[in-house]
Amino acid sequence: MDDERWFGRDPASKEFGAVRIESGDRPLPLYLSGEGPTPAHSGYFDPDRNPSAANNIAKIVAGRSDNVTMEVPR
Protein backbone atom coordinates (compact mmCIF):
# COMPACT_ATOMS: atom_id res chain seq x y z
CA MET A 1 0.00 0.00 0.00
CA ASP A 2 1.31 3.41 -0.92
CA ASP A 3 0.91 5.54 2.20
CA GLU A 4 2.66 8.62 0.79
CA ARG A 5 0.52 11.76 0.94
CA TRP A 6 0.98 15.42 0.08
CA PHE A 7 2.86 16.00 3.34
CA GLY A 8 4.78 12.71 3.28
CA ARG A 9 4.14 9.35 4.91
CA ASP A 10 0.82 8.93 6.71
CA PRO A 11 1.72 8.86 10.44
CA ALA A 12 -1.24 6.54 11.09
CA SER A 13 0.07 3.90 8.68
CA LYS A 14 1.63 0.65 9.83
CA GLU A 15 4.74 1.48 7.80
CA PHE A 16 5.29 4.73 9.73
CA GLY A 17 5.48 2.76 12.97
CA ALA A 18 3.71 5.11 15.38
CA VAL A 19 1.50 3.92 18.22
CA ARG A 20 -2.03 5.19 17.59
CA ILE A 21 -4.49 6.18 20.28
CA GLU A 22 -8.23 6.11 19.68
CA SER A 23 -9.36 9.64 18.86
CA GLY A 24 -12.83 9.29 17.40
CA ASP A 25 -13.80 11.06 14.21
CA ARG A 26 -11.59 13.91 13.16
CA PRO A 27 -13.25 17.12 14.32
CA LEU A 28 -14.13 19.62 11.62
CA PRO A 29 -12.28 22.93 11.63
CA LEU A 30 -14.52 25.43 13.40
CA TYR A 31 -14.62 27.64 10.31
CA LEU A 32 -16.22 24.74 8.40
CA SER A 33 -18.78 24.16 11.14
CA GLY A 34 -19.66 27.87 11.29
CA GLU A 35 -18.05 28.56 14.68
CA GLY A 36 -15.07 30.71 13.67
CA PRO A 37 -11.48 30.42 12.37
CA THR A 38 -9.95 27.91 14.83
CA PRO A 39 -7.58 25.20 13.55
CA ALA A 40 -9.02 21.68 13.25
CA HIS A 41 -6.54 19.99 15.57
CA SER A 42 -7.59 22.01 18.63
CA GLY A 43 -10.83 20.00 18.62
CA TYR A 44 -8.92 16.99 19.90
CA PHE A 45 -8.52 18.78 23.25
CA ASP A 46 -12.22 19.66 23.61
CA PRO A 47 -14.16 16.96 25.53
CA ASP A 48 -17.46 18.29 24.18
CA ARG A 49 -16.37 18.04 20.53
CA ASN A 50 -14.25 14.89 20.77
CA PRO A 51 -14.49 13.07 24.11
CA SER A 52 -12.44 10.01 23.13
CA ALA A 53 -9.45 12.09 22.00
CA ALA A 54 -9.63 14.47 24.97
CA ASN A 55 -9.89 11.58 27.45
CA ASN A 56 -6.93 9.74 25.94
CA ILE A 57 -4.80 12.90 25.87
CA ALA A 58 -5.71 13.59 29.52
CA LYS A 59 -4.67 10.05 30.50
CA ILE A 60 -1.30 10.48 28.76
CA VAL A 61 -0.68 13.86 30.41
CA ALA A 62 -1.64 12.41 33.82
CA GLY A 63 0.87 9.58 33.39
CA ARG A 64 -1.85 6.96 32.94
CA SER A 65 -0.96 5.82 29.43
CA ASP A 66 -1.70 2.25 30.53
CA ASN A 67 -5.41 3.25 30.47
CA VAL A 68 -5.37 4.76 26.97
CA THR A 69 -7.66 3.22 24.35
CA MET A 70 -5.47 2.16 21.43
CA GLU A 71 -6.26 2.18 17.70
CA VAL A 72 -4.89 -0.13 15.02
CA PRO A 73 -2.70 1.31 12.24
CA ARG A 74 -4.34 2.13 8.91
Tens digit of each residue's pLDDT, the chain (74 residues) = 455 656 778 888 888 888 899 988 765 666 655 566 655 667 788 898 889 999 999 999 999 999 999 998 88
Residue type, 26: R
Angle at 19 between CA 32 and CA 61, to 5 degrees: 75
pLDDT of the residue at 61: 97
pLDDT of the residue at 57: 95
Q: Using CB atoms within 10 A of its CB, is residue 61 exposed (0-12), middle (13-18) or buried (19+)?
A: exposed
